[in-house]
């Protein structure tokens, strides 16, 4: 029986050839799998960030994150290993701006509190998470403690450097100063109900944020205005010492001082 003209061959050899030549290209399939994996991770991170903000670390369950992200709990474990690992990823990716350790140096130390408030005012989700975390009473095994301690320590070191340069009063304990700055820049945002009761405005109100920024600047000017630059401070001390030496020399060489000297 003769083969029909133009009919494609359907034997196994022809199918294999077609698959490996024109009909099968593994790259689009692989790229699709990568995109699906990235979308899944992003969906999990979004869901985890919302759960951590709304319920804190201790109050958040992987099952709730899985339900919100529409994935299985096992898939979360596959991507992030544990709730702690997922929290690390949320801190690094979702809250990175709030935790940014590279605060730019300030020309005027009076702005240290005001500028920190301005930079943190747009990260309410992270502040809410901190509030939930504080309410849990957790004081040991703080999630992601190492990286958070590092960033707190770096801010403390920047304050010590400002003290060493004479930009901040040296008699102030740098740790307590840091705690005061953190309180002034975080409390109004963390306790919105108290802010509203006291001022009649929510902390998200742009007018409140402008007024609080200006208030923190004025506090900084009152607190830090007496701290001269280090170089100027050294010059003042040297000038005063030289002036005292000249006065002492003048007194010892005056006629009255000569008359009062007893002959040897």
DSSP state of 14: H
Are 76 and 44 within 8 A, CB to CB?
yes
Q: How many CB atoms lie within 10 A of CB 147?
A: 14
Q: Length of the chain in residues, anyone?
A: 264
Kindly tell me if the per-residue pLDDT of 73 is higher than 60: yes
How does residue 162 score in pLDDT terms, banded at 50, 70 and 90? confident
36 — pLDDT class (breaks 50, 70, 90): confident
**CA–CA separation, 36 and 52 (whole Å):** 24
Helix axes 73-80, 26-55, angle to 10 degrees: 100
DSSP 15-40: HHHHIIIII--HHHHHHHHHHHHHHH
List, in order of start, the domains of the chain with CATH numbers.
15-93 (1.10.357.10), 109-224 (1.10.357.10)
Structure confidence at residue 137 (pLDDT): 73
Whether the full predicted model's pTM is greater than 0.95, yes or no, is no
pLDDT for 52 equals 86
- Residue 204's nearest CA partner among 132, 131, 115, 121 is 121
* Residue 9: predicted pLDDT: 54
* Nearest CA among 25, 51, 58 for reference residue 138: 58
pLDDT (tens digit per residue) in 165-181: 888 888 999 999 999 99
Using alpha carbons only, what angle is made at residue 69 by residues 64 and 74, rounded to the nearest 5 degrees? 70
**pLDDT of 78:** 92
Question: Tell me: the pLDDT tens digits for 111-122?
Answer: 889 988 988 888
CA distance 135 to 213: 27
pLDDT tens for 91-104 read 777 776 555 544 55
91 or 238, higher pLDDT? 91
Per-residue pLDDT band at 13 (split at 50, 70, 90): low
CA–CA separation, 150 vs 152, rounded Å?
6
Write the DSSP string, 179-235: HHHHHHHHHHHH-HHHHHHHHSS-TT-HHHHHHHHHHHHHHHHHHHTT---HHHHHH
Q: Decide: helix, strand or coil at residue 167.
A: coil
Distance separating alpha carbons of residues 66 and 61, to the nearest angstrom: 9
């Amino acid at each position: 029986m003769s083969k029909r003209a133009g009919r494609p061959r359907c034997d196994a050899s022809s199918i294999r050839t077609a698959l490996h030549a024109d009909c099968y290209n593994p790259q689009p399939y692989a790229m699709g799998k990568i995109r699906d994996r990235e979308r899944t991770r992003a969906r999990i991170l979004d869901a985890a960030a919302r759960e951590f903000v709304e319920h804190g670390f201790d109050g958040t369950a992987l099952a709730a994150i899985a339900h919100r992200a529409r994935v299985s709990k096992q898939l979360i474990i596959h991507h992030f290993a544990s709730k702690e690992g997922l929290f690390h990823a949320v801190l690094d990716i979702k809250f990175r701006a709030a935790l940014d350790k590279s605060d730019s140096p300030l020309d005027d130390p009076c702005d240290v509190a005001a500028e920190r408030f301005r930079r943190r005012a747009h990260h309410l989700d992270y502040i809410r998470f901190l509030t939930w975390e504080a309410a849990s009473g957790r004081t040991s095994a703080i999630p992601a403690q190492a990286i958070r301690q590092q960033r707190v320590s770096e801010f403390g070191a920047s304050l010590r450097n400002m003290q060493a340069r004479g930009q901040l009063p040296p008699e102030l304990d740098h740790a307590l100063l840091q705690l005061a700055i953190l309180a002034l820049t975080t409390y109004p945002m963390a306790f919105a109900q108290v802010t509203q009761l006291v001022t009649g405005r929510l902390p998200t109100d742009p007018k409140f944020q402008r007024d609080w920024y200006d208030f923190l600047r004025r506090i900084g000017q009152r607190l830090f205005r007496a701290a001269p630059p280090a170089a100027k401070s050294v010059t003042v001390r040297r000038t005063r010492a030289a002036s005292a030496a000249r006065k002492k020399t003048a007194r010892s060489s005056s006629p009255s001082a000569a008359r009062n000297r007893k002959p040897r």
